[in-house]
Structure formats: structure tokens, C-alpha cells
Amino acid sequence: MEEGQFTRIDREEVIRKLREAVPADYTRRFELANRLMPALRRAIARHFHSWYEELERAEPNPYYLMNNRC
């Protein structure tokens, strides 16, 4: 870099190559691959809900600082 500018990289060429590398249906593929994520997140939250309640009841100032959630 020189004065905040790339001296050996053609920024426009890099952007063009990245755009060429992304499939035309990338958005559809991404949505399809992640379609179950909202349900998974809800299931995980339900599963660990009791753990969070237990943590809230725990000592607010643990002996070890590394165990402190603050």
C-alpha cells in the first residue's frame, strides 16, 4: 500500500472475479441450506432455558473472575 492505496492489486479485477465466482442462484441456495435454522434456534433455546434460569439464581460475584458473566 502507498498512501492508503493498493499498489499491486487491481481492486476492480478482484471484485469482478469475486462476482464471477458467486453462483447466480446463491441466494436461493443459502436460503435453502438455512431454512431449518429458525426452528433449530428455538429448539436450542427451549433446551437450555432451565440452564439460564439456574445461572440467574447463581452467585452474582463468583470467586473466579473468569466465571463472571459481566
Residue 3 lies inside a defined structural domain of this protein: no
Residue 31 lies inside a defined structural domain of this protein: yes
Residue 1 lies inside a defined structural domain of this protein: no
pLDDT in tens, the chain (70 residues): 788 887 888 989 999 999 999 999 999 999 999 999 999 999 999 999 988 877 777 766 666 666 556 5
Phi, psi (5° rounding) for residue 54? -65, -40
* Structural domain span for residue 61: 11-67
Instruction: Domain count for the chain, please give it.
Output: 1
Convert 18-52 to b/e letters by CB count within 10 Å (16 or more is b).
Answer: eeeeeeeeeeeeeeeeeeeeeeeeeeeeeeeeeee
Residue 6 lies inside a defined structural domain of this protein: no
